[in-house]
């Protein structure tokens, strides 16, 4: 009997401090992030407890062992809205948030009786020094996202799925919001059926961010392009942001995959883009280095006519210029049944000098991302 009790205790300890701990380490700009560090893991059992653990001032390792369903926890709302992209059943409609329909879509058909879940509109606040970890494939948050804002720093979200946040309606909520933060690592996360942005970096500086090994799943019955592909995917528009975007699987989106603006330095490396209308939107202030990526069935790897700076690893000659600033020659991107990504601007590569830079593999390696990205695949 004593042996059995001892063995059970040892097994429990192994679960708490072994598999229920952050796996690996962040590459790139957020290198060195520790999240909750060595804090004793906590296991929330209710949505209220999860909210409390995320928001408090203590370092936390928060382990999710089930689905946390926020649907109905804050009630529902019914409002007017509009249908800027048409009234067909496959088209998203928009909630008239802060008068958006009135101010920006005055000629769009009006819609009444939009009923949505209030919990989805605003994500849970995440305080500094937190690790949010899913156990195996059990860590699911339904109907609500998270917000890393107001100078929060040193945060890890790993092996979690965010899903079913008012997907019928634009302005119904985002999955992950980062705005005015630093040292954030989003890893092995899956996002699907989201109202608006899957991941958004707001206008305030988010500083050092690494987004790695995630699945951004845009397949939906409702979209702004009315074609089963979500438009509002990834929006990196912060002030003085440095974003490492590596080993992600982005699929079935129609745009913003990602949109980059503000003053954002983006290292997009070894990602797999699939079944997308257009991927990059390089808007004003963006500085994008894209290397070793795969574009498969992507109509246009970038929206044309935008003023952002892009270096797209176009030739072996220009790729050697990366070594001075990144420590390696840039890797060629690869294309299958796709357009090609244009951009030969090397003038901003000096911005990478002295920073923590993620390693790069050939695009052939990136093809395996579809088998490794997302939650439940650590």
Q: Per the structure block, which two tokens stand in for 301? A: 């790897």
CA distance 347 to 333: 20
CA distance 150 to 220: 32
pLDDT at 15 over 50: no
pLDDT at 7 over 90: no
pTM for the structure as a whole: 0.95
Domains and CATH numbers, the chain: 30-72+118-372 (2.160.20.10)
pLDDT grade, residue 13 (50/70/90)?
very low
Query: Sign of dihedral through CA atoms 48, 54, 57, 61?
Result: positive
How do residues 347-374 score in pLDDT, each as one tens digit?
Answer: 999 999 999 999 999 999 999 999 999 9
Query: Residue 161 catalytic?
Result: no
pLDDT at 12 over 60: no
Taking the alpha carbons at both ends of the chain, their separation in whole angstroms is: 35
Q: Per the structure block, which two tokens stand in for 331? A: 């890797």
How do residues 125-168 score in pLDDT, each as one tens digit?
Answer: 999 999 999 999 999 999 999 999 999 999 999 999 999 999 99
210 burial (CB, 10 Å; 0-12 / 13-18 / 19+) is buried
The helix (H) or strand (E) run that includes residue 166 is none
List residues bridging with 272 in a β-sheet.
249, 294
Q: In the predicted model, what is the mean pLDDT of residues 305-327?
A: 92
Q: Per the structure block, which two tokens stand in for 99? A: 């008068």
pLDDT grade, residue 18 (50/70/90)?
low
CA triplet 146, 149, 155: central angle to 5 degrees? Answer: 70
Q: What is the pLDDT of residue 316?
A: 79
Using an 8 Å Cβ cutoff, are 317 and 296 in contact?
A: no
Using an 8 Å Cβ cutoff, are 37 and 59 in contact?
A: yes
pLDDT at 11 over 50: no
Q: What is the pLDDT of residue 8?
A: 39
Using an 8 Å Cβ cutoff, are 261 and 286 in contact?
A: yes
Q: Where are the beta strands (DSSP E) in 12-139?
A: 60-64, 67-69, 76-82, 93-95, 110-117, 124-125, 130-134
| Residue 292 DSSP label | S
pLDDT at 10 over 50: no
How do residues 28-80 score in pLDDT, each as one tens digit?
Answer: 999 999 999 999 999 999 999 999 999 999 999 999 999 999 999 999 999 99
Q: Per the structure block, which two tokens stand in for 94? A: 């928009």
Q: In the predicted model, what is the mean pLDDT of residues 171-175?
A: 98
pLDDT grade, residue 314 (50/70/90)?
confident
How do residues 90-114 score in pLDDT, each as one tens digit?
Answer: 999 999 999 999 999 999 999 999 9
Q: What is the pLDDT of residue 259?
A: 98
Residue whose C-alpha is closest to residue 180's, from 138, 114, 240: 240
Tokens 């040292």, residue located: 183
Q: In the predicted model, what is the mean pLDDT of residues 314-330?
A: 90
pLDDT at 87 over 80: yes
């Amino acid at each position: 009997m004593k042996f059995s009790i001892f063995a059970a205790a040892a097994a429990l300890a192994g679960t708490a401090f072994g598999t229920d701990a952050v796996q690996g380490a962040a590459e790139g700009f957020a290198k060195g992030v520790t999240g909750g560090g060595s804090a004793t893991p906590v296991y929330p059992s209710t949505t209220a407890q999860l909210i409390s653990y995320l928001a408090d001032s203590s370092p936390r390792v928060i382990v999710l062992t089930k689905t946390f369903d926020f649907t109905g926890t804050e009630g529902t709302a019914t409002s007017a809205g509009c249908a800027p992209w048409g009234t067909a059943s496959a088209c998203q409609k928009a909630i008239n948030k802060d008068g958006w329909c009135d101010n920006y879509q005055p000629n769009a058909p009006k819609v009444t009786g939009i009923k949505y879940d209030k919990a989805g509109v605003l994500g849970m606040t995440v305080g500094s020094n937190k690790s949010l970890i899913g156990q195996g494939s059990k860590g699911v948050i339904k109907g609500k996202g998270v917000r890393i804002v107001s100078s929060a720093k040193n945060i890890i979200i790993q092996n979690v799925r965010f899903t079913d946040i008012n997907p019928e309606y634009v302005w119904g909520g985002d999955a992950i919001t980062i705005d005015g933060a630093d040292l954030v690592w989003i890893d092995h996360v899956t996002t699907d059926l989201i109202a608006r942005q899957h991941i958004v970096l707001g206008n305030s500086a988010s500083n050092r961010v690494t987004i790695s090994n995630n699945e951004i799943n845009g397949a939906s019955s409702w979209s702004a392009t009315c074609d089963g592909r979500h438009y509002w995917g990834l929006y990196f528009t912060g002030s003085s942001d440095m974003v490492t975007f590596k080993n992600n699987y982005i699929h079935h989106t129609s745009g913003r995959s990602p949109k980059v603006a503000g003053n954002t330095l983006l290292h997009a490396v070894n990602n797999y883009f699939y079944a997308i209308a257009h991927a990059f939107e390089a808007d004003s202030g963006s500085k994008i280095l894209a290397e070793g990526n795969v574009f498969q069935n992507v109509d246009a790897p970038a929206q044309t006519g935008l003023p952002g700076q892009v270096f797209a690893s176009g030739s072996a000659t220009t790729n050697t210029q990366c070594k001075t600033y990144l420590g390696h020659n840039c890797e060629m991107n690869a294309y299958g049944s796709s357009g090609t990504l244009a951009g030969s601007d090397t003038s901003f590569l000096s911005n990478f000098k002295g920073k923590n830079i993620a390693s790069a593999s050939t695009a052939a390696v990136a093809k395996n991302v579809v088998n490794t990205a997302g939650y439940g695949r650590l």
